[in-house]
Structure 1
Amino acid sequence: MHDDQLDVTAETVATLIEEQFPSWSGKTIQLLASTGTVNAIFRIGNDLTARFPLRPADAAEVLAVVEQEVQASAELAQVSRFPVPEPVALGKPGAGYPMPWTVQTWVPGTVAFDAGPSGSYAFAGDLAAFIAPLRDAETRGRLFRGEGRGGVLTHHDDWMAKCFKESEGLLDVPRLRQLWSHFRELPRTGADVMSHGDLIPGNVLVEEDRLSGVLDTGGFGPADPALDLVSAWHLLQRGPRDVLRRTLGCDDLEWERGKAWAFQQAMGVVWYYVESNPTMSRMGRRTLDRILKSMQ
């Protein structure tokens, strides 16, 4: 998916485990099929998963990020009403792999990409029941860290300009430019709340059209209260989407800002992953279609 992507194999993982966590030696190691774009995920036995960053970077900088993600995941696990991965161990570079890596608990379920719960009203209610206690969690004086989605919409103007340029021939760019002109002007009124930060189908687990777990919790932190509303557009059809809005009590402005963050994310994934991760690219297209229909 990335030009500089690292090659991580089951053999590499087995060697790292034998060297660093010998009590797990002999457990079956399986690379999981994933739409994730940041980590390679391996299942270790029945109860654990290991996450290996895919893109090379300074090991010390990666360690600082990974430690922050481990802390965030542990914090979210304390407030979530649904199963989430819990940190178990932090691995070191070795066996030809140059960066830190993590081990978490395994959470069963089918990712929403495959389960297709978009028409389930019960699933929408579950999503709201996941998001609400995150919003109520203490920020402890922390503010948005200033990177990625969740801060100021206009800070993404340069990235959106690149997305529009790269999307020529793929999308109706003139119409989408007009939408961004509207979204970027939406004022921010609410203070930061704690948010998952990336509620896309690949991070949501489903069982019988109900939410059964949430993955990729290392981004848990303070952000725009509208940020987790991206789930309304990435995951839900119109009727269930209305359930999510009513249950969370979103006003018009907050709802529009959630739509804006979903738009920003979708514009990036359509062109970037059109060849390397078609599932993600299709997700972006579907999200944009839902947003466009809502504006008619």
Structure 2
Amino acid sequence: MTNEIQINVALVQRLIVAQFPQWADLPIKSVEFGGCDNRTFHLGSEMSIRLPSAEEYVRQVKKEQEWLPKIAPHLPLPIPQPIAMGMPSEDYPWNWSIYKWLEGESANSLELGDVHLEIIAVQLAQFLRAFHQFDAAGAPAPGLHNWWRAAHTSIYDAETRSLIETLKDFINVDNAISLWQRAINSQWDSDPVWVHGDVASGNLLVKDNRLAAVIDFGCMGIGDPACDLTIAWTFFRGKSRNIFKANLHFDAETWARARGWAMWKALYEISELEEKSGAELAQQIQIIDAVIEEDRASRRTDSKDNKHPLGLPIEYQQMPEYFDTSNVNEQTEAKNALIERLLKEQKVKTVLDMTCGTGSQVFYLAERDYEVIGSDFSPALIDIARDKAKAMSRNITFIKGDMRNVKIGKFDAIITIFNAIGHLTKADFDVALKNIRANLKDNGVYIFDIFNLQAITNEIIADFTRDVESVVNGVTIHNMQHSEIDRETGLLTSHDQFTILKDGCKPEMHTNSFSLQIYTAEELQALLSENEFEIVGQYDMNGSDFIADKSLNILIVARKKYTHRTSRCEVYHPT
């Protein structure tokens, strides 16, 4: 950055005299709120002069000169109208602009009442709708010229996570990370639209308590409009915020990214404060608190799948071809061997795998002469399992069925492995237990596993963070995952981002969030007892004895209690 140039009235006077002598006699004075990235001056009563304060802002000059005259006729409010462009000189090394003067005061210098804010909310929403709809052909994509505004929120991922860590004394870190993860996991799936890039109160001109103009288009470009929505929290409040949002027709994911942009900006502003106290700090904290509260409210109401309100891993349905990549690994064989050992101890012959996925446990047990059937709610995963069986020339039955209601027969054992029960709410697991009991023979056993809530610490949650790359059939799959836990509810929530790289194709990006309901050993014992199961064994997933405060997982072998109900005629009556 160049710091030696003194941008003042004297410099501007020299530039005007040298390059635009027709205006040399007009008075020049600084604008009170002249900005930081650019310096603004009055030129007479009808023009303004705008000079970049550093080299990184120079790219914006020609962009505004080219595009603003094309866009202006299609907007419901005035925007800056370029009149001339100044050239570099000995006094000043960059291009600069002269605009028609726009009437109004900067909104950040005014005290506006609720009624006036509500009117401005409608006006600004109408302006943004029109701006977003203007033809984007040939327009500039996000880049250095606009600090990547209109790019995906994740462009600031590393910086945001660093800011969260740095400012952990001022914010709720878990909530901030959760909000940010939801933001970067969401996608703008529509065509790129025009984006202002810096819709802030300082760039809104107000006259007579009405929005009179929108200025400073230096960060404009095309892409995702989410960054234009941050003003919902940085300027509007209460009813005006709701009115602004209601007059813009964006989906929940776009608002999730908007909350991410707003939090990033507030964190950045706090980091720039020399003194971390006072009104400015309080204002930025208020913004962060507001977006976090909205994020938490949206998490409470979101449900991507009515049958699975906790959500599901994306590879269960949308990306089944990558299921084995994410779920079958070097540990799978050891876990399968443990399951088989436990089945052997219980003298089991017939097995129903109620959550078989693509059949890992089913094939393992079939090869060891168990009579085994696989069932899963996902038709896509069942199709893959059937194809595997056909390729192996194995006559194995795979059935589409939900563990909460499928009726297949009576078995010596039922298994649901690899945290499968976690995809059910507590109420649904109770329903599933009743159905499992109905599919078991008397004294049959149910074997399942789940994360152990008592032993999962914040350090362990941090270890769940995943950034792995694998290759499947020539396709590169990059998976990033982050998790957090709500200890009050026992919900372990994971956020995934998959990037799929195929030769000759544009990268595909898929994002998803889902939760696992996890339990303590005591909670599981109570649920099993209520459904007439008795626990006959508790293990760690490595096969050792379960330790409540140390075992990351709990694997349970539970026996269906045999309850003989005597009929009235069988009751002994002494004579």
Q: Same fold (TM over 0.5)?
A: yes
Relative to 1, partners in 2 of residues 1:11 and 1:113: Cα closer, same or farther, differing over 3 Å? Answer: same
2:202 counterpart letter in structure 1: G
C-alpha distance in 2, partners of 1:197/1:132?
Answer: 14
Residue 76 of structure 2 corresponds to 81
Deviations 1:149-200 (A, max 9, x none): 221222211222343355455x326243343233222233222111212101
Residue 37 of structure 1 corresponds to 36
Relative to 1, partners in 2 of residues 1:235 and 1:194: Cα closer, same or farther, differing over 3 Å? Answer: same
Instruction: Kindly indicate which of the two structures has a greater share of residues assigned to strand.
Output: 2
Residue 152 of structure 1 corresponds to 152
Residue 27 of structure 1 corresponds to 26
Task: Please show how residues 133-152 of structure 1 align to structure 2 within 5 Å.
Answer: 133-140=130-137, 142=139, 144-147=141-144, 148-152=148-152
Worse-superposed segment, 132-141 or 195-204: 132-141
2:142 counterpart letter in structure 1: R
Relative to 1, partners in 2 of residues 1:36 and 1:122: Cα closer, same or farther, differing over 3 Å? Answer: same
C-alpha distance in 1, partners of 2:240/2:249?
Answer: 14
The residue matched to 1:49 in structure 2 has which SS?
strand
Residue 194 of structure 2 corresponds to 194
Residue 71 of structure 1 corresponds to 66
Relative to 1, partners in 2 of residues 1:256 and 1:116: Cα closer, same or farther, differing over 3 Å? Answer: farther
Deviations 1:194-231 (A, max 9, x none): 12121011101112332111110233331203232122
Residue 13 of structure 2 corresponds to 14
Work out which of the two has the higher radius of gyration on C-alpha atoms and give 1 or 2.
Answer: 2
Q: CA RMSD in A?
A: 2.7
The answer on 1:264 being equivalent to 2:257 is no
Alpha-carbon distance, 1:274 to partner: 5.0
TM-score, scaled to structure 2: 0.46
C-alpha distance in 2, partners of 1:193/1:241?
Answer: 23
The answer on 1:132 being equivalent to 2:125 is no
- 8 Å Cα contact 1:72/1:220 also seen in 2: no
Relative to 1, partners in 2 of residues 1:137 and 1:36: Cα closer, same or farther, differing over 3 Å? Answer: same
Alpha-carbon distance, 1:67 to partner: 1.1
1:157 counterpart letter in structure 2: D
The residue matched to 1:191 in structure 2 has which SS?
coil
Residue 123 of structure 1 corresponds to 120
C-alpha distance in 2, partners of 1:212/1:65?
Answer: 23
The residue matched to 1:219 in structure 2 has which SS?
coil
Relative to 1, partners in 2 of residues 1:222 and 1:22: Cα closer, same or farther, differing over 3 Å? Answer: same
The residue matched to 2:85 in structure 1 has which SS?
strand
Deviations 1:215-258 (A, max 9, x none): 10233331203232122122210211111222222222222222
2:43 counterpart letter in structure 1: I
TM-score, scaled to structure 1: 0.86
Relative to 1, partners in 2 of residues 1:113 and 1:35: Cα closer, same or farther, differing over 3 Å? Answer: farther
The residue matched to 2:120 in structure 1 has which SS?
helix
Alpha-carbon distance, 1:55 to partner: 1.5
Q: Show structure 2 runs of 5+ residues with no match.
A: 297-575
- 8 Å Cα contact 1:71/1:218 also seen in 2: no
- 8 Å Cα contact 2:182/2:256 also seen in 1: no
C-alpha distance in 1, partners of 2:282/2:92?
Answer: 31
Relative to 1, partners in 2 of residues 1:25 and 1:283: Cα closer, same or farther, differing over 3 Å? Answer: farther
- 8 Å Cα contact 2:83/2:98 also seen in 1: yes
1:234 counterpart letter in structure 2: T
Relative to 1, partners in 2 of residues 1:282 and 1:3: Cα closer, same or farther, differing over 3 Å? Answer: farther
Worse-superposed segment, 278-287 or 215-224: 278-287
Relative to 1, partners in 2 of residues 1:165 and 1:125: Cα closer, same or farther, differing over 3 Å? Answer: same
Residue 251 of structure 1 corresponds to 251
C-alpha distance in 2, partners of 1:251/1:164?
Answer: 26
Residue 291 of structure 2 corresponds to 291
1:81 counterpart letter in structure 2: P
1:16 counterpart letter in structure 2: L
Alpha-carbon distance, 1:90 to partner: 0.8
Residue 203 of structure 2 corresponds to 203
2:83 counterpart letter in structure 1: V
Alpha-carbon distance, 1:280 to partner: 7.8
Residue 391 of structure 2 corresponds to none
C-alpha distance in 2, partners of 1:5/1:172?
Answer: 38
Residue 227 of structure 1 corresponds to 227
Alpha-carbon distance, 1:19 to partner: 0.8
Q: Show structure 1 runs of 5+ residues with no match.
A: none
C-alpha distance in 2, partners of 1:130/1:153?
Answer: 23
Worse-superposed segment, 237-246 or 258-267: 258-267
C-alpha distance in 1, partners of 2:131/2:252?
Answer: 21
C-alpha distance in 1, partners of 2:229/2:110?
Answer: 20
Instruction: Kindly indicate which of the two structures has a greater share of residues assigned to helix.
Output: 1
- 8 Å Cα contact 1:76/1:220 also seen in 2: no
Residue 432 of structure 2 corresponds to none
Residue 366 of structure 2 corresponds to none
Relative to 1, partners in 2 of residues 1:94 and 1:142: Cα closer, same or farther, differing over 3 Å? Answer: closer
Alpha-carbon distance, 1:11 to partner: 0.6
Alpha-carbon distance, 1:292 to partner: 3.0
Residue 112 of structure 1 corresponds to 107
C-alpha distance in 2, partners of 1:123/1:96?
Answer: 41
Residue 54 of structure 1 corresponds to 53
- 8 Å Cα contact 2:107/2:201 also seen in 1: yes
C-alpha distance in 2, partners of 1:181/1:55?
Answer: 33
Relative to 1, partners in 2 of residues 1:185 and 1:123: Cα closer, same or farther, differing over 3 Å? Answer: same
Deviations 1:48-70 (A, max 9, x none): 1111111246xxx93x5421221
Deviations 1:76-101 (A, max 9, x none): 31222111110011112235222221
Relative to 1, partners in 2 of residues 1:73 and 1:111: Cα closer, same or farther, differing over 3 Å? Answer: same
Q: 1 or 2 for the larger relative contact order (CA 8 Å, sep ≥6)?
A: 1
The residue matched to 2:93 in structure 1 has which SS?
coil
- 8 Å Cα contact 1:194/1:223 also seen in 2: yes
1:22 counterpart letter in structure 2: P
